[in-house]
């Protein structure tokens, strides 16, 4: 029973919910970046480099051994095209997150630097006494 209560407190804590929302948004953002890289950025680059799909660019270390239609041993390749594409995804996401964090930190600093309005100074003893005398005279 105590474990259930502790789990409920943990899950309903504000920062856990914020983290969950961040993960969901981050996953969606990652899909957008991946689509941008795969569908918009890489096709022109692959065309310039003379290949149809960038992800299929590879260096063959050992050719496949094929007898008829049967593959005896598959080819051993370095799939550098796919690696470069994933690296570009990572760089775009990393730079985007850097600028988001930089903007958040700037807003936090600006909020801290805003001067808080000063409270009016406390009246001196003389002013307090004069105020009390005034109030007494008004009553009479």
Would you state the pLDDT for residue 121? 84
- 104's enclosing H/E stretch is helix 80-113
pLDDT band at 86 (very low <50, low <70, confident <90, very high): confident
Question: In this predicted model, what pLDDT tens digit does every residue of 106-129 receive, in sequence order?
Answer: 888 887 776 677 788 888 888 888
Query: Cα separation of 125 and 140, whole Å?
Result: 23
- What mean pLDDT, rounded, does the chain reach? 84
Would you state the pLDDT for residue 61? 92
Which carries the bigger pLDDT value, residue 126 or residue 11? Answer: 126
Query: Cα separation of 140 and 128, whole Å?
Result: 19
Interstrand relation of 65-67 and 70-73 (parallel, antiparallel or unpaired): antiparallel
Measured between alpha carbons, how far is residue 45 from residues 6, 38, 42 in Å?
A: 53, 11, 5
Cβ pair 36, 92 in contact under 8 A: yes
Selection from 47, 43, 51 nearest residue 85 by Cα: 43
Please tell me the pTM assigned to this model.
0.57
Measured between alpha carbons, how far is residue 111 from residues 37, 81, 103, 104, 108 in Å?
A: 36, 45, 12, 11, 5
Which carries the bigger pLDDT value, residue 137 or residue 51? Answer: 137
Q: What are phi and psi of 69, to 5 degrees?
A: -105, 0
Question: In this predicted model, what pLDDT tens digit does every residue of 22-43 receive, in sequence order?
Answer: 888 888 888 998 888 888 888 8
Question: In this predicted model, what pLDDT tens digit does every residue of 65-79 receive, in sequence order?
Answer: 988 888 889 999 998
Please state the domain extents for the chain. 2-113
pLDDT band at 62 (very low <50, low <70, confident <90, very high): very high
> May I ask the CATH architecture of the domain 2-113?
Orthogonal Bundle (1.10)
């Amino acid at each position: 029973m105590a474990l259930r209560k502790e789990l409920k407190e943990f899950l309903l804590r504000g920062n856990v919910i914020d983290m969950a929302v961040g993960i969901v948004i981050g996953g969606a953002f990652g899909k957008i970046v991946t689509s941008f890289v795969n569908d918009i950025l890489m096709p022109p680059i692959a065309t310039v480099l003379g290949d149809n799909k960038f992800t299929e660019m590879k260096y063959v270390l050992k050719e496949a051994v094929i007898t008829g239609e049967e593959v005896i041993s598959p080819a051993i390749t370095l799939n550098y095209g796919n690696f470069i594409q994933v690296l570009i995804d990572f760089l775009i996401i990393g730079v985007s997150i850097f600028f988001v964090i930089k903007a958040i930190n700037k807003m936090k600093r600006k909020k801290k630097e805003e001067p808080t309005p000063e409270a009016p100074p406390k009246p001196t003893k003389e002013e307090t006494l004069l105020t009390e005398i005034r109030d007494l005279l008004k009553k009479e």
